[in-house]
């Protein structure tokens, strides 16, 4: 029996390591601190190196703090470099970090900061599927073509976007400068992927104890090297803000946003899977294997708006909400709708009528977002909050973008191996009459009678299958040799 095998390699995305660690630092403030109004942290990876199962990571935490001093509001931005080591299961990875939690302690002229950082090692894992070919005419193989998307390569890029925002007030005291980036589309070319996206910067400031927020959007295209990429391949991409630096010059604020982009490229591959096999001489042992392959379909970015109720502070005037971000609690797909349950963490800026001094408090807003999808499962779900607006009823109008990767589950059952067993002798007649079962094919009939498919009469065959009940003539010469 002449059996040949070959390997089909599929690349799928996988997490190869996770870690949590704390980065501690101290920010000195020029003046006596009356109150801390705002603290924000951004984590970014500067470099990493893998050796066996160890990955050495160097990065930085950018911390932005707004304090209320005797002379007004003071905004300070400080960088805290860090190095750490984590265990990984592959060397072909990319490292992503995120500031998960911030703790701080106020002193008279300084602030002690502790940032909890979450790190992930993301890469691609090879899944091998054995394809079997037979050159033996006595062995019948039933195959099926299955289309899957397999990763080709990934690429990264670090770049900056510069812009200037003009403030309406001359005596503006900046409370915060935040940035975000949203992807409009990605397009693949030869060995590169181009991201079309926008960078939005928001400045919150105080003038005459009145809160103002101004924003500006800059559109950009960024080319990222991605080996083996070809035109019109499917792609995924993400862009993270790695830092925001600014200089205030009277009413102009000059801003530089540091961005990190990550892209992946996929191609469709047709696998000729051996679904069944048998020998007409009854001397074949077949071993089957099953695999669930999670197949990438498409990355989507959908607008999702909602209303949520917040409880205000008694006798307080709410000036605005700022520093908002969403944490996803649960995702669910039913009837073509993706439902994302999350909590929006934000800060509320307020003041009392009899006391003009500014105050802030933490506000957690439960949020349910719904968006249509054709997939049965999704991955890489992200919620970016674009805007929070308080209306007259103390309701928060929330504008957001939900990003996710649509997936489908491909169930592959295939012949993994075959081997020759002891031959069985059988009496054979020249013509066999077989009563077909519903939806049987000539392969099914041939397998049931241990004959070649060419021996099965196809006169009653409709669209490749029998309806059931037909009398099928099977021609099998006596003393035939196979």
Q: What is the pLDDT of residues 359-416, one digit of tens each?
A: 888 888 888 999 999 888 998 899 998 888 888 777 889 999 999 999 888 888 787 7
Query: 3-state secondary structure string, 36-99?
Result: EEEEEEEEEEEEEEEECCEEEEEEEEEEEEEEEECCEEEEEEEEEEEEEEEECCCCCEEEEEEE
* Predicted local confidence at residue 429, as pLDDT: 54
User: Residue 120's pLDDT is what?
Assistant: 95
Higher pLDDT, 450 or 60: 60
pTM of the predicted structure, to 2 decimals: 0.80
pLDDT level of residue 477 (50, 70, 90 thresholds): low
All structural domains of the chain with their residue ranges: 11-130, 137-280, 281-425, 428-482
pLDDT of residue 481: 45
Tell which residue, 166, 221, 168, has the closest CA to residue 199: 221
Q: Any idea which of 193-197, 235-239, 308-312 has the lowest mean pLDDT?
A: 308-312
| Residue 482: predicted pLDDT | 39
> Does residue 247 carry a pLDDT above 70?
yes
Backbone angles phi, psi at 324, to 5 degrees: -100, 145
Residues with Cβ < 8 Å from 393, sequence gap 6 or more? none
Mean pLDDT of the chain: 86
Q: Is the dihedral of CA 234, 14, 197, 182 positive or negative?
A: positive
Report pLDDT for 422: 62
**Lowest-confidence region among 227-231, 271-275, 363-367, 382-386:** 271-275
pLDDT tier at 235, thresholds 50, 70, 90: very high
Burial 106-117 (b: 16+ CB within 10 A, else e): eeeeebebebbb
Q: Can you tell me the distance from the alpha carbon of 69 to that of 268, in angstroms, rounded to the nearest whole number?
A: 60
Over residues 85-141, the pLDDT tens digits come to 999 999 889 999 999 999 999 999 999 999 999 999 999 988 877 777 776 777 778
In 313-345, which positions are buried (b, 16+ CB within 10 angstroms) versus exposed (e)?
eeeeebbbbbbbbbeeeebeeeeeebebebebe
For the stretch 304-362, pLDDT in tens is: 888 887 766 667 777 888 888 899 999 999 999 999 999 998 888 887 766 667 888 88
pLDDT of 456 above 90: no
Looking at residue 15, what is its pLDDT?
93
Residue in the structure block whose two tokens are 């439960």: 366
Kindly tell me if the per-residue pLDDT of 245 is higher than 80. yes
- Cβ pair 201, 177 in contact under 8 A: yes
3-state secondary structure the chain: CCEEEEEEEEEEEEEEEEEEEEEEEEEECCCCEEEEEEEEEEEEEEEEEEECCEEEEEEEEEEEEEEEECCEEEEEEEEEEEEEEEECCCCCEEEEEEEEEEEEEECCCEEEEEEEEEEEEEEEEEEEEEEEEECCCCEEEEEEEEEEEEEEEEEEEEEEEEEEEECCCCCCEEEEEEEEEEEEEEEEECCEEEEEEEEEEEEEEEECCEEEEEEEEEEEEEEEECCCCCCCCEEEEEEEEEEEEEEEECCEEEEEEEEEEEEEEEEEEEEEEEEEEEECCCCEEEEEEEEEEEEEEEEEEEEEEEEEECCCCCCEEEEEEEEEEEEEEEEEEECCEEEEEEEEEEEEEEEECCCCCCEEEEEEEEEEEEEECCCCEEEEEEEEEEEEEECCCCEEEEEEEEEEEEEEEEEEEEEEEEEECCCCCCCCCCEEEEECCCCCCHHHHHHHHCCCHHHECCCCCECCECCCCCEEEEECCCCCCC
**Which residue do the tokens 């990438």 mark?**
296
Side by side, the strands of the sheet bearing 377-390 are 284-309, 395-420, 377-390
Percentage of the chain exceeding pLDDT 90:
46
Give the least confident one: 216-230, 376-390, 416-430: 416-430
Q: What is the mean pLDDT of residues 12-20?
A: 92
Instruction: Please give the residue that has the higher pLDDT: either 281 or 462.
Output: 462
> Is pLDDT at 194 greater than 80 in this prediction?
yes
pLDDT of residue 313: 64
What is the average pLDDT across 461-472? 82
pLDDT reported for residue 295 = 82
Does residue 59 register a pLDDT over 50? yes
Please report, for residues 212, 313, 316, the alpha-carbon distance to residue 352 in angstroms, rounded to integers and kept in the order given.
17, 9, 5
Please answer whether residues 102 and 78 qualify as being in contact, where contact means their C-beta atoms are separated by less than 8 angstroms: no
- The yes-or-no verdict on residue 1 having pLDDT over 60 is no
The phi, psi pair for 454, rounded to 5°, reads: -65, -15
Residue 445 to residue 90: CA distance in whole angstroms: 48
List residues bridging with 333 in a β-sheet: 338
Angle CA(63)–CA(69)–CA(72) in degrees, nearest 5?
A: 100
């Amino acid at each position: 029996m002449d059996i040949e095998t070959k390997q089909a390699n599929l690349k799928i995305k996988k997490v190869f390591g996770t870690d949590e660690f704390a980065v501690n630092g101290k920010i000195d403030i020029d003046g006596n601190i009356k109150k801390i109004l705002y603290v924000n942290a951004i984590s970014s990876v500067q470099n990493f190196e893998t050796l066996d199962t160890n990955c050495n990571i160097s990065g930085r935490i950018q911390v932005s703090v707004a304090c209320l001093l005797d002379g007004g509001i003071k905004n300070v931005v400080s960088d805290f470099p860090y190095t750490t080591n984590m265990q990984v299961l592959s060397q072909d990875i990319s490292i992503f970090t995120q500031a998960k939690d911030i703790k701080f302690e106020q002193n008279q002229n300084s602030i002690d900061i502790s940032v909890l950082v979450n790190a992930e090692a993301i890469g691609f894992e090879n899944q091998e599927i054995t394809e079997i070919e037979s050159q033996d005419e006595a062995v019948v193989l039933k195959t099926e073509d299955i289309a899957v998307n397999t990763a080709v390569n990934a690429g990264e890029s670090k770049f900056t976007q510069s812009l200037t925002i003009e403030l309406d007030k001359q005596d503006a005291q900046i409370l915060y400068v935040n940035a975000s980036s949203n992807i409009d589309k990605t397009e693949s070319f030869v060995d590169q992927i181009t991201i079309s996206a926008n960078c939005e910067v928001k400045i919150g400031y105080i003038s005459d104890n009145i809160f103002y927020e101004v924003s500006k959007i800059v559109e950009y295209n960024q080319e990222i090297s991605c080996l083996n990429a070809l035109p019109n391949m499917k792609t995924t991409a993400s862009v993270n803000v790695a830092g925001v630096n600014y200089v205030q010059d009277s009413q102009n604020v000059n801003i530089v946003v540091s961005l990190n982009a990550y892209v992946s490229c996929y191609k469709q591959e047709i696998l000729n899977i051996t679904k069944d096999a048998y020998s007409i001489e009854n001397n074949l042992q077949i071993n089957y294997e099953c695999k669930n392959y999670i197949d990438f379909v498409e990355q989507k970015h959908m607008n999702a708006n909602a209303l949520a109720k917040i409880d205000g502070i008694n006798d307080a005037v709410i000036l605005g909400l700022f520093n908002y971000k969403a944490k996803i609690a649960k995702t669910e797909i039913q009837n073509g709708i993706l439902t994302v349950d999350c909590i929006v963490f934000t800060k509320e800026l307020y003041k009392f009528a009899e006391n003009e001094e500014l105050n802030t408090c933490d506000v957690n807003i439960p949020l349910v977002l719904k968006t249509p999808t054709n997939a049965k499962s999704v991955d890489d779900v992200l919620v970016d909050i674009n805007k929070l607006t308080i209306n007259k009823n103390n309701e928060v109008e929330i504008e957001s973008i939900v990003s996710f990767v649509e997936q489908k589950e491909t169930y592959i059952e295939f012949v993994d191996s075959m081997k020759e067993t002891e031959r069985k002798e059988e009496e054979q007649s020249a013509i066999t009459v077989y009563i077909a079962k519903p939806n049987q094919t000539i392969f099914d009939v041939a397998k049931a009678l241990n004959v070649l498919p060419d021996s099965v009469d196809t006169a009653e065959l409709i669209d490749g299958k029998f309806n059931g009940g037909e009398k099928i003539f099977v021609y099998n010469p006596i003393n035939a040799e196979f």
